[in-house]
């Protein structure tokens, strides 16, 4: 990806990695919907989302500051990629960058995937990326994890046959959790990935940090039969 001019597109002065815990729960489970809860979508007119007006073929869940999202969009210019992110400042910054640079095949929506993917058509997505999610390692916080059987049901529904789910984390505990949940779900064939050539995808901001600090990462590719 071409270098971003951060003088032209400065990041906000104050950014928070984490946000309200309520954003990680489905709206249906909350007694009161917080004022700044991410928008809910039933249907989406893709003409209002992508500059080229076409639906997405790939989804980056938890796209963060968007290095991976923007790089994939540049590398696969003939396919649309949609970023989903709960943090408002990330979405605003990315949306401004995408529209200012007129990147036709890339878009971002502020959304909590805990609410499902009902606005995505059945068997329409080639690849889904769920990379370095918030780990929620404390026992009392585990229920905030989006990676559940319900989540995988939605992934399975929207993937085309042969479609792929890419998973990455820097925590062995989360890697084991991903494998356990995938095994319990049983509808996706998955493999551990040990080399970059087999992975074949650009690095995220988090992965670049791990590389600099010599932190081990764990990767899985799951395929819909």
Q: What per-residue confidence (pLDDT) applies to 16?
A: 56
Distance CA 73, CA 70 (A): 5
pLDDT value at 18 more than 80: no
Residues in the chain: 225
Residue tagged 């059945």 (tokens): 122
C-alpha to C-alpha distance for 18 and 136, rounded to whole angstroms: 11
Asked whether the predicted pLDDT for residue 21 surpasses 80, the reply is: no
Which residues does the annotation mark as catalytic?
A: 134
Q: Tell me whether strands 125-131 and 188-193 are parallel, antiparallel or unpaired.
A: unpaired
- Alpha-carbon gap, residue 221 to 165, rounded angstroms: 6
The stretch 67-73 carries a mean pLDDT of 96
- What band does 15 get if pLDDT is binned at 50, 70 and 90? low
Alpha helices in the chain (DSSP H): 67-75, 88-100, 149-158, 172-185, 196-199, 205-212
**Burial, 94: exposed, middle or buried (Cβ in 10 Å; 0-12, 13-18, 19+)?**
buried
Contacts of 49 (CB under 8 A, 6+ apart): 82, 107, 109
- Token pair listed for 58: 């790939």
Residue 17 pLDDT > 70: no
DSSP codes joined into one string, 95-148: HHHHHHTT-TTEEEEE--GGG--TTSPTT-EEEEEEES-----SGGGGGG-S-S
pLDDT digits (tens, 9 = 90+) for 106-117: 999 999 999 999
**Residue that wins the pLDDT comparison between 11 and 124:** 124
Tell me, what's the pLDDT at 211? Answer: 96
Segment among 77-81, 161-165, 192-196, 208-212 with least mean pLDDT:
192-196
Place of tokens 């990326």: 129
- Structure confidence by residue, pLDDT tens digits, 23-59: 878 888 888 888 889 999 999 999 999 999 999 999 9
Q: What is the pLDDT of residue 196?
A: 82
Of the given ranges (3-7, 34-38, 64-68, 157-161), which has the lowest mean pLDDT? 3-7
**Residue 210 reports pLDDT greater than 80:** yes
**pLDDT number for residue 114:** 93
Q: Which of 20-29, 130-139, 205-214 has the highest mean pLDDT?
A: 205-214
């Amino acid at each position: 990806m071409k270098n971003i001019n951060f003088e032209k597109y400065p990041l906000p002065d104050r950014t928070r990695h984490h946000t309200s815990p309520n954003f990680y729960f489905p709206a249906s489970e909350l007694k009161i919907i917080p004022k700044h809860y991410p928008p809910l979508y039933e249907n989406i007119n893709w003409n209002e989302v992508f500059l080229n007006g076409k639906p997405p073929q790939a989804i980056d869940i938890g796209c963060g500051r968007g290095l991976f999202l923007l790089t994939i969009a540049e590398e696969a210019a003939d396919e649309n990629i949609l970023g989903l992110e709960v943090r408002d400042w990330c979405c605003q910054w990315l949306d401004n960058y995408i529209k200012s640079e007129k990147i036709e095949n890339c878009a971002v929506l502020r959304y909590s995937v805990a609410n499902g993917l009902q606005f995505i058509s059945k068997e329409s997505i080639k690849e889904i990326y769920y990379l370095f999610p918030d780990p929620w390692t404390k026992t009392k916080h585990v229920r905030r994890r989006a990676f559940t059987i319900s989540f995988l049901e939605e992934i399975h529904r929207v993937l085309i046959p042969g479609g792929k789910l890419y998973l990455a984390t820097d925590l062995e505990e989360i890697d084991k959790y991903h494998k356990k949940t995938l095994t319990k779900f049983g509808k996706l064939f998955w493999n551990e990935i040990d080399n970059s050539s087999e992975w074949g995808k650009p690095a995220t901001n988090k992965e670049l940090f791990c590389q600099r600090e010599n932190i081990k990462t764990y990767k899985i590719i799951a395929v819909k039969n």
